[in-house]
Structures are given as structure tokens and as C-alpha cells.
Amino acid sequence: MQDLTLSDTRIVKGACPHDCPDTCALRITVEGGRVIKVQGAADHPSTHGALCTKVSRYAERSYHPERLLKPLRRVSAKHEAPRFEEVSWATALADISGRLKAIAARDPQAILPYSYAGTMGYVQGEAMAGRFFNRLGASLLDRTICASAGAAALSATYGHKVGMHLPHFAESRLILIWGSNSIASNLHFWTYANQAKRAGAKLICIDPRKTETADKCHQHIGLLPGTDGALALGLMHELIVNDWLDHDYLGRHVDGWEELRDKAMQWPPERTAEVCGLSAAEVQGLARDYGTTAPAAIRLNYGMQRVRGGGNAVRLVALLPCLTGAWRHRAGGLLLSSSGWFAPYKNDQLERPELRRAPARTINMSSIGDELLRPASKEFGPQIEALIVYNSNPVAVAPESPKVLRGFQREDLFTVVLEHFMTDTADSADYVLPATTQLEHLDVHSSYGHTDVLINEPAIAPLGEAKPNSQIFRELAVAMGFDEACFLESDEQLARQVFTSAIDFEALRAKGWQSLPLKEAPFAEGQFLTPNGRAQAGGADYVPNYESRASSPELARRYPLAMISPPARNFLNSTFVNVKSLRDIEGEPVLEMHAEDAAQRGLQDGAMVRVFNERGNYHCRMRISARARLGVVNGLGIWWRKLGPRGSNVNEVTHQGLTDMGRAPSFYDCLVEVALADEVTTPA
Ligand SMILES: Nc1nc2c(c(=O)[nH]1)N[C@H]1C(S)=C(S)[C@@H](COP(=O)(O)OP(=O)(O)OC[C@H]3O[C@@H](n4cnc5c(=O)[nH]c(N)nc54)[C@H](O)[C@@H]3O)O[C@H]1N2
Ligand SMILES: Nc1nc2c(c(=O)[nH]1)N[C@H]1C(S)=C(S)[C@@H](COP(=O)(O)OP(=O)(O)OC[C@H]3O[C@@H](n4cnc5c(=O)[nH]c(N)nc54)[C@H](O)[C@@H]3O)O[C@H]1N2
Ligand SMILES: [Mo]
């Protein structure tokens, strides 16, 4: 166990908590009660002793001078500059529980939790929080902000969020890196891709932006945003007409193949090229590579499903390995998410759904702007009167922030935010409660990029008066008068319950991580996780964007540029934006623009610009860049609004339209115009 004496040096086993497929194993060096180093574990295969720049600065983030260390109560009006006073935990808990009790007495569904993956840990995520909101009878939250289109699509096609195993990419002969800037956002996958490259594999990046990853691949296919479904159909057309098909695999393991084949035959290279903004030769060349190289692997990432047709696009891309029989080899197939491999071992009673006494409505987090502004009605139910936010920064990350902000600034909304820092969301809170960081609490993690379970032991005691999320919900439960025994369980008791089988907790503690038992090439003989074991190809089709020159020509006359807003490399969504050393690398909020698009607007490199549409105005620095294709601008995200020029960020212009499957946002399905703006300085 941990020795907490102050003088010695200890190495503590940790896990990176962030929303990233890599979920690295950490080794945390503590000296005299203070963390002095955060490193990647050398013995964990995918971490391989290496961390990204961001997480190697984790101690800088935890010891940040602006860490929230005391409960805060608002003293200014919501529309005024935020001002807070420090209060005791006892006062905060009594006030908050008093307000919640009064609302719950009328209708507990007027209370809404809002959380996502600020930490992906089970203990500090939904374990105690889930119990609290179930017992309270609060509205349910549909957690769709990131991956639910792709998740619904994979589940419809293969029965679950499953795919290739990460290390096997090293043996692939062809890797399509599709909608993923792996070097920025999936670094430890890139290590395996690079091994394959050194062994002679061809790497092709499919992305509207010429990313850092595209620079390192043999080829970049710079398609228009939201046209991946069309490209997949066009590739299928070529696989069919050249007979690069595995007929045996299709016959034995795929339902709906005839229907899909008929659809694909409507996508000859010329039509595909036209819709995707590519040349017919690019489509044909890609199909030839994919159809004639084995084993061929696809690393799909969530970047390509943030458009109206994102779900169908994932279905179509995911079916490609069935056409060629790539699944027969362990280094062939596709990986979007590995999280479904954990499902059979996970305890689905952790959040105690049985505590809920009556069914409740579900609110979609991706349309929180609209939801907060909705009055009570028969269909909607009660107006949202209270919001409890943890592990998320919705004012910065949710689409169409002008509406999100208006909702958060409602004087009659009671908002509690559990946070490390005074984020844009915390600025609108009535109460801000200081939460511990990963260095200060216990947790258990799975991954959506590999198949290991990791433990995170606390390295140091909580800073100031910060408490783990789990503890805050435990104490709130007591204040509410909830007397069920499950609210008394400690973090260790919770941690031991996450994986009920296959993972021995003592062994996990001893090593820091444990691998799931897995099949080498899981779908070599079909056996997908669908009810009949066959892949489901029926019904998938190309769905055009809400907003594009082709689908909305009238709108495109006023706002002719398509904008995507992928992550900036040195931030993790909106986390780390306030870490100065990382912000200094990013400089300021940037819009990348093609030289011709800039010239047409008379804009010089480095100009302060206004990016706008009917929804809002976003101010940032324009860079003429070879990373932007003609007609598409790249607004790198996700800055804190208050750290950007004129207090805006890229979500000022995104919209709340949902994807075709999974009710997810369509951040990258967005038309804008760009104009010169007055010079304003970015806050330091
Ligand atoms: N450094 C860093 N790492 C991260 C994150 C981060 O913010 N910063 N975010 C984390 C999170 S929350 C997630 S969900 C994961 C995955 O996060 P993703 O959002 O999948 O991140 P990327 O891998 O950067 O993939 C986005 C890529 O998709 C491209 N893209 C945009 N539109 C399209 C399109 O229509 N078609 C295609 N083919 N490509 C498109 C973008 O240009 C970008 O290069 O990464 C995680 N890792
Ligand atoms: N325009 C645009 N918008 C996007 C995206 C995009 O690509 N473009 N990406 C989308 C995606 S993929 C995602 S996943 C979402 C991400 O949206 P969020 O899940 O909201 O992610 P973050 O912005 O990283 O905010 C997480 C917050 O949780 C806090 N936190 C971390 N650990 C803890 C803890 O232990 N306790 C508590 N109480 N708080 C903690 C952090 O301080 C941080 O402020 O954003 C989405 N928004
Ligand atoms: Mo995400």
C-alpha cells in the first residue's frame, strides 16, 4: 500500500484519465509529498514509456496556481461579470441540497446532470453520481456529444463497438487512417502504424485537412467534409467491377450484401469523385490499393462522424473489410472503438438503476442550448430548473454556444459545477465545487483504443479542500437524506466492483494494468456480435450534409466555406487550454485557410478575422495554410471562450442539428463566411 511519509521518493501506478483512445499507464514520481514527474509506464505495451506533451505536463495542471481549492458561491447576477465568495463545504452542501429538495418536491425531472469524459474513470465518472441521480429521480442525460453516431453505426453493423486489436496494426501491409489525426489524438496507435510503415506498409490518410499525420503518410486523400459514405460506396463499386471480392466471406458472414451491391453500383468513380471533391483517379487508385493488398487495415476515428450522415458513413466504411475478407487476418479489418470488448466483464449495476422509482425523460446533451431555453410543455415536461455539471465544459464544447450561453445565464436556473478550474461553464454557476485531479483520487479505467484495464492509485492527498467527485456525491446524498447503504461505499469498494469478472483486483493493483482475454483475429470466421452472428449490410446509404454547397446551395451563396473544427494538438477538447506552457505552443485560436480563399477575400496571412454565419461570430487569427483545402477552413479547437479574442470560440458558429444515427452533434457540418476584423489581442 501507499506509504505517505513525507521524505521518501515513491513511484505510484496511475492511468491517464483523459478522453483519448490511448488510455496510457502512468508512473508518477512523488517526492516529499509532491508529484515531481508524470511518465508513461515502460512495461505497458501500448504506452511504451511515452506520453503526449499534454499529459507529461499533468503535474503543472494539478498544481496550477488557479486550481479551485475551496467551494465558491456566486454573488453577481448571471449576466454580469462572474464574482464568487468562498464558503464552507457545510454551507455549500446545505444550500445546494435545500435548493434541490425544493425542486424535487415539485418534479425531480426538472433537475439534470450534465457530464461527459473530463475523466473517463468509472469511480469519478458515473458510479456514485449515477446512484445519486437515480435515487433523486432526475432527468436522464443522453451522452451523445462525441461518439454516439459511430457507436450506433458499429453496433448496427457488427453488434457492438468492437474491431481489430491495436498491436496487430504493426503487421498490416496497408493502413487507411480515416478521419483521424493520429499523431495529435491517437499517438500510441501511430507507433504501431509507424512500425508497419518501416516494414514496408503503405499508409494513406483520408481527411479534408492535410494533417500532421497526412504529412507522414505515403498519400493524402483530401475529400470534402461529410462525403466519406460516398467514398466508401465508390470504393465498393471498384471492388465489385474488378472482382476484388471475397465471395466466400460475403456469402457466409454478411446479411444484405445484394442490396449493398446494388447501391454501390450507382457510384462509379466519376460520380464519387464529383461528390467527394476528388479526382476519379484518386478513387480508383485507393480502391486498387485496398482491393489488392493484404492484410489491409482501417483506423477509423470519430472525426468523420461529426456530420449529418456520420452514422451511415461509419456503417459503409466499416463494411469494406467484409467485401475483401480482410477480417480473416489479425492485421486486417477495422478499428473505430474497442470499448465493446469490455462489455461482458463490466458491472452494469454500478450506478444502481433500481434506485429510480419512476421512469424519467431523457435529455440530449448535444442540444443543451435548445433544452435550457425550452419552456415547460406537455411533450417536454418541466422546464430545466437545476443543472449539475461535472467532467464537462459545455459552454465551450457544446454546439451553437450563443444559445448554450443564453441558457446558462438564465437567472432562474440553479447551476452547480464540479471543477478543477474556473472554466467558461463555471463562470455561469451558482456554486462551484472544487474537485480532485487524477493525482489525488483512486480510479479504474478501460479504453476505447486498446483492451487493457488500468488502475489509478492516488499519488498525493487532495489539494486544498478539493474532494473527489464520488465524495461530493456521497456527501450530497447524505445532505438530501438518502439513507441507502450504497451511498456509504468507499472509492475502493466502488473500484472493486467495476469489473466483476476476468479482472482480479489484487493483480490489477500489483501490475497497474491487466489485459482482457481476446481472440487473435476475432472475425476471421464471421461470428460478429449481432444476434445471428452475421455482419449487417442492409439499409446503409450515403446521407449528404445539412450544410454544403451541394445540399444547401442557397445557404452556400451567403456562407460559401465549409468549416471543420478538429482538435488542436496540445489541448484535449477544452482541457489544458489554461495550462500556459501548452497554450504558448498553440499561440492563439487559429483558422487555417487556403491561399486562394484568402486572396478572394483580400485577406493576408495573420489577419484577425471574423468567422460567421446566422448563428454567431467567432474571432480568431487566420493562417494561410497548405493544411486547408480550397473551400474548406479548419478552425482548430477547442479554446476557452474567455481566453480567445472577444470571448468567443469555434462553437459560436456550429449548429445543433443531429446525426442520422445516435443523436450526436454535427460539428463538422457547418458553412461559414470569413471577413477581416479589427485587431484584438488574445488574453494572455
Ligand atoms: N491532442 C488531442 N487528442 C485528442 C483529442 C483532442 O482534443 N486533442 N480529443 C480526444 C477525443 S474527445 C476523441 S473523441 C478522440 C478522437 O477525436 P477525433 O475528433 O476523431 O480527433 P482526430 O483524430 O483529430 O480526428 C479528427 C480528424 O477528422 C478529420 N475530419 C473532419 N471532418 C472529416 C470528414 O468529414 N471526413 C474525414 N474523413 N475526416 C474528417 C479532421 O480534419 C481531423 O483530422 O481523440 C481524442 N484525442
Ligand atoms: N467544435 C467542436 N466541438 C467539439 C468537438 C470538436 O471536435 N469540435 N469535439 C467534441 C468531443 S469529441 C467531445 S468528447 C466533447 C468534449 O467535451 P467535454 O467532455 O466537456 O471535455 P473537456 O472540454 O475536456 O472538459 C472536461 C472538463 O472536465 C474537467 N474535469 C476533468 N477531470 C475531472 C474530475 O475528476 N472531476 C471534475 N469535477 N471535473 C473534471 C476538466 O477540468 C474540464 O474542464 O467536445 C465536443 N465539442
Ligand atoms: Mo470525443
CB burial class (10 A; 0-12, 13-18, 19+) of residue 411?
exposed
- Report yes or no: 385 and 104 within 8 Å, Cβ to Cβ: no
CB burial class (10 A; 0-12, 13-18, 19+) of residue 416?
buried
H or E, element range at 672: strand 671-676
Nearest atom in ligand 1 to the alpha carbon of residue 227 is 35
Nearest atom in ligand 2 to the alpha carbon of residue 437 is 35
H or E, element range at 112: strand 111-115
Residues in CB range of 593: below 8 A, 6 or more apart: 603, 622, 623, 624, 625, 628, 633, 674
Phi and psi at residue 499, to the nearest 5°? -110, 110
- Report yes or no: 86 and 76 within 8 Å, Cβ to Cβ: no
- Of residues 406, 404, 426, 403, the one with CA closest to residue 416: 426
Q: What is the pLDDT of residues 231-244, one digit of tens each?
A: 999 999 999 999 99
- DSSP codes joined into one string, 179-190: S--HHHH-HHHH
Q: What is the pLDDT of residues 407-465, one digit of tens each?
A: 999 999 999 999 999 999 999 999 999 999 999 999 999 999 999 999 999 999 999 99
Where residue 684 falls among pLDDT bands split at 50, 70, 90?
low
Class of domain 149-340: alpha beta
Q: What is the pLDDT of residues 287-344, one digit of tens each?
A: 999 999 999 999 999 999 999 999 999 999 999 999 999 999 999 999 999 999 999 9
Pocket around ligand 2 at a 6 A CB cut-off:
19, 116-119, 124, 145-146, 390-393, 396-397, 418-421, 423, 435, 469, 565-567, 572-575, 637-638, 650-651, 654, 667
Using only C-alpha atoms, the chain has a radius of gyration, in whole angstroms, of 25
Helix (H, G, I), strand (E, B) or coil at 37: strand
Asked if residue 680 has pLDDT above 80, the reply is no
Helix (H, G, I), strand (E, B) or coil at 481: coil
Phi and psi at residue 29, to the nearest 5°? -90, 125
Question: Which amino acid type is present at position 640?
Answer: W
Q: What is the pLDDT of residues 606-625, one digit of tens each?
A: 999 999 999 999 999 999 99
Average pLDDT, the chain: 96
- Report yes or no: 659 and 149 within 8 Å, Cβ to Cβ: yes
Strand 632-635, strand 590-593: pairing = antiparallel
**Measured between alpha carbons, how far is residue 537 from residues 260, 271, 287, 332, 659 in Å?**
6, 22, 19, 19, 19
Distance between CA 166 and CA 330 in Å, rounded?
10
Does 221 contact ligand 1 (Cβ within 6 A)?
no
| Ligand that lies nearest to the alpha carbon of residue 181, given by its number in the listed order | 1
How does 572-606 read in b/e, with b if 16+ C-beta sit within 10 Å?
A: bbbbbbbbeebbeebeebbbbbbeebbeebebeee
Lowest mean pLDDT: which of 114-123, 535-544, 581-590, 649-658?
581-590
Nearest atom in ligand 1 to the alpha carbon of residue 184 is 1
CATH topology of domain 72-139+360-454+462-502: Rossmann fold (3.40.50)
Lowest mean pLDDT: which of 41-45, 264-268, 497-501?
497-501
Q: Domain ranges for the chain, please list them.
A: 72-139+360-454+462-502, 149-340, 553-676
Residues in CB range of 683: below 8 A, 6 or more apart: 642, 643, 644
- Report yes or no: 665 and 302 within 8 Å, Cβ to Cβ: no
- DSSP codes joined into one string, 618-670: EEEEEEE-TTSPTTEEEE-B---GGGSGGG--GGGT---PBPSSTT-B-TT--
Does 669 contact ligand 1 (Cβ within 6 A)?
no
Taking domain 553-676, whether its CATH number is 3.40.50.261 is answered by no
pLDDT of residue 501: 74
Distance between CA 491 and CA 508 in Å, rounded?
16
pLDDT of residue 1: 44
Asked if residue 215 has pLDDT above 90, the reply is yes
Distance 86 CA to ligand 2 centre (A): 25
What the block records as the C-alpha cell of 363 is 435529455
Asked if residue 7 has pLDDT above 70, the reply is no
